[in-house]
Structure 1
Amino acid sequence: MNLKKKSAIFITLLVSLLLVISGCGAKAPTAAPAPADAGKEKIKVAFVYVGPVGDAGWSYAHDQGRKYLIEKMPQVETTIIESVPEGADSERVITQLAEKGNKIIFTTSFGYMDPTINVAKKYPDVTFMHNSGYKTADNVGTYFGRMYQARYLTGIVAGKTTKTNTIGYVAAMPIPEVIRGINAFTQGVRSVNPQAKVKVVWTNTWYDPAAEKDAAKSLLTNGADVIAQHQDTPGPMQAAEEAGKYGIGYNMDMSKMAPKAVLTSAVWNWGPYYVKTVESVINKTWKNDQYWGAMSDGIVDIAPYGPMVTDDTKKLVADAKDKIISGKWDVFTGPVKDQSGAVKVPEGQVMSDKDMLSFDWFVEGVDGTIPK
């Protein structure tokens, strides 16, 4: 091969090599960055309700909290199971939710306590939160709010409104939670109207619209002109409106269901607590605490007033609310007497949480008995 031909081949190879090197250094077109949540698996959270979410009461309030959770934490995927009976059936439902990969399960009725504990033993990697109970485990916490504080305030409204001095109270189950609410409400009533009585009728059900309404009717027939309730539906409020009387709602603002009757309602605000709890599980800071949030936390409050509530009554409630939120005074500050007139909490003392959580007696001013 002659020199010219060798030179031509060499130059051709050199040019090709330079082109290859240049191509390796070129930047290829870049794809748009993936969203921050792309590829992240959503955390699955489940809720078990004792009634339908359309009950306009207890389960509805919890479901509003669930919706708040989704709004604030879009990385969460939720499942709800409605109308789950307390007892063995609830244990089956809770087990199914754990099997389906839910990492946090909120069980929202007192009767789910033992089933929640039983299922938690089998699924140590799942966090369980039981509402209103008192049993915990390594992966089980409890949560509730000091609804008795809101009950006291609504009692003031009822005590200032009644003309017959007979206030009816439709009560679900004879457990400490319900008894505590009746007592706090009565303390509020008697703080402004010492002559008034709170007459209690038990339904032995959380959710039975007909039974709740009938119980309210019986109280109205027996002279009550204001009806309060610890029930999951607005049935008692509707009975009050139909009778031309007044009512105090519970769980949610029930004024839409009985606008001419509802003076105000003792209400729950679960959403912020659900967000805080899920965040703590994700951040691995969760602890199996027994949370009992105060009105100062915002978890309990009273709803806006109906137009029939006077400015004088509103002022009394506002003053009492300020005292409660300040922490300088609470509802069961002595002297507190039982139905017989015996002093149970001496003057200057405050009832302990332990005693409030195990209430099994009525305060002075309650007309009724506690079934065994």
Structure 2
Amino acid sequence: MKKHKNWQRWVTSAALALGLSTGAMAEDPMKVGFVYVGPVGDYGWSYEHDRARIEAQEFFGDKIETTFVEKVPEGADAERVIRQMAQSGHDLIFTTSFGFMNPTEKVAKRFPKVFFEHATGYKRAKNLSTYVLRTYEGRYVSGIAAGMMTKTNTIGYIASFPIPEVIRDINAVYMAAKSVNPDVKIKIMWVSTWYDPVKESEAANALIDQGVDVLIQHTDSPAPLMAAEKRGVKAIGQASDMSKFAPNAHMFSIRDDWAPHYIKTIQEIKAGTWKPEDFWGGFAEDMLMVASMNDNLPADVKAAVTKAHDDIKSGALKPFTGPMKSNEGKLVIEAGHSLTDEELAGVNWFIEGIDATIPK
């Protein structure tokens, strides 16, 4: 005991000699980990998550310490990475892809003192929250522009995986395009990847060969934009500002900003006020935005995009409001009803007019 007291006295004296307060020494930085499905250089989804991580680090300074692991496959590898983070003393772990949901839930059960937040999923626990962007809001705005700009009346959608987020976003694009162009059709190409520039480029070219002249993507590389630029058609950027990759083809990008949620979550954990929830952020929360609208767009298209954005942000426009039928003829939204977040999270149908089936 005497030796322990002497050691404490020595540490305190050393701290004072260095101009540090003993309180500052006692407070270790919060360790915050991030798990990404793609590379931080994808210029899309993972790029924006990492940009938000950097912004949170700058906001809190030495009060937090952030780490990340990129290019983590969804499945067993993800569980191993998340578990290793929890074992290495992380206080909070953000897992940023739908396929990380089950691995995150498993690890959260084993480490009840660690806080977990999972992006785009629906499973929660005492130490596990979910968070998602209302990407369908950005897709609706994209559909307005696509419907007005297409000359072939055929727009294309490069889709990743048939999960609710992707399905509802395809619906949002089509319903918006249809509202301004009754003759519009949508062609969907599934690539079964979030990030693969070769596959994305091949899908873009295949769609263009089928008469598509406006491309929208739910994948993370700028390859579709670059293909559009080369082929002389239009395209819209995904997750981050992709304007530099296609100066003429790029109409605008729908940019994600995760920083407000990351900063808020860390603040709540530090204050002891964090509670598990299902958080949705969009235009209203300034976590989704229209970025770098091209000067070459016609004035009426710019005005329509701006109005749709403003109406969604204010709540005047709720895209998923009934009556609405699926493409199998089933009434999926009653007249006057707007889908709740819980209902949006379970969308597993295409709306009337989309000539396609959802892969199993």
- TM-score > 0.5 by shorter chain: yes
- The separation in 2 between residues aligned to 1:348 and 1:99, in whole angstroms, is 49
Structure 1 residue 273: Cα displacement: 0.8
Is the partner of 1:211 in helix, strand or coil?
helix
* CA distances 1:276-303 after superposition (whole Å, capped 9, x unpaired): 0011111110001111123201111221
- Give the superposition deviation at 1:340: 4.6
What is aligned with 1:279? 267
Question: Could you tell me the percent identity over the aligned residues?
Answer: 47
The letter for the 2-side match of 1:288 is P
What corresponds to 1:99 in structure 2? 87
Counterpart in the other structure of 1:263: 251
Change in CA separation of 1:308 and 1:338 when aligned onto 2, cut-off 3 Å:
farther
1:38 CA displacement: 5.0
- The aligned runs of 1:8-87 (5 Å cut-off) are 33-34=19-20, 37=24, 40-74=27-61, 75-87=63-75
Give 2:285's aligned amino acid.
D
Q: Is the 8 A contact 1:196 1:365 kept in 2?
A: no
Post-superposition Cα deviations, 1:242-286, rounded to whole Å, max 9, x if no partner, equal 101110111101111222211012221001110000111111100
Kept in 2: contact 1:200–1:366 (CA 8 A): no
Distance 2:136 2:319 in 1: 8
Return the offset for 1:333: 1.5
Contact 1:46 1:104 in 2 (8 A): yes
Higher mean C-alpha deviation, range 40-49 or range 307-316: 307-316
Please name the residue that 1:227 is paired with. Answer: 215
d(CA) in 2 for partners of 1:112, 1:345 = 30
Whole-angstrom CA distance in 1 between matches of 2:44 and 2:261: 18
Equivalent residue for 1:16? none
State yes or no: 1:112 paired with 2:106: no
1:265 and 1:365 map into 2 onto residues whose CA distance is 26
Paired residue secondary structure (2:244):
coil
Q: Distance in 1 between matches of 2:18 and 2:68?
A: 36
**Structure 1: which 5+ residue stretches go unaligned?**
1-29
Distance across 1 between alignment mates of 2:244 and 2:304: 25
- Decide whether the 8 Å contact of 1:157 with 1:309 is kept in 2: no
**Whole-Å Cα distance in 1 between the matches of residues 271 and 76 of structure 2?**
33
Change (3 A) 1:119 1:165: same
Which residue identity is paired with 1:69? A
Query: What's the offset of the Cα at 1:146?
Result: 0.8
- Counterparts of 1:137 and 1:342 in 2: how far apart (Å)? 34
- How far, CA to CA, are the matches of 1:33 and 1:68 in structure 2? 28
Q: Tell me the distance in 2 between the aligned counterparts of 1:318 and 1:335.
A: 25
Q: Which runs of structure 2 are paired with 1:169-248 in the superposition (5 Å)? A: 169-248=157-236
Aligned-partner residue type, residue 155 of structure 1: G
Cα distance in structure 1, aligned partners of 2:125 and 2:138: 30
Please state how far the C-alpha of 1:351 moved relative to its aligned partner: 2.4
1:334 to partner: Cα distance: 2.1
Distance 1:269 1:56 in 2: 13
CA–CA distance in 2 between the matches of 1:111 and 1:365? 29
Is 1:130–1:142's contact at 8 Å kept on the other side of the alignment? yes
Deviation at 1:205, TM superposition (A): 1.0
Q: SS at 1:313's partner residue?
A: helix
CA distance in 2, matches of 1:98, 1:342: 45
Partner of 1:310: 298
Q: How many residues align?
A: 343
Q: Secondary structure at the match of 2:46?
A: helix
Please give the per-residue CA displacement for 1:142-167, whole angstroms capped at 9, x wherever unaligned: 00111111110111111111100000
CA distance in structure 1 between the partners assigned to 2:334 and 2:114 by the alignment: 44
For 1:288, the equivalent position in structure 2 comes to 276
Q: Matches of 1:93 and 1:103 in 2, distance apart? A: 15
Output one character per residue of 1:205-260: Cα deviation in whole Å (capped at 9) or x when no partner: 11111111101111000000011000011111111111011101111011112222
Task: Summarize deviations over 1:166-199 as a string: whole Å, max 9, x none.
Answer: 0010000011110011111111111111111111
The answer to whether the 8 Å contact 1:201/1:368 transfers is no
CA apart distance, 1:37? 4.5
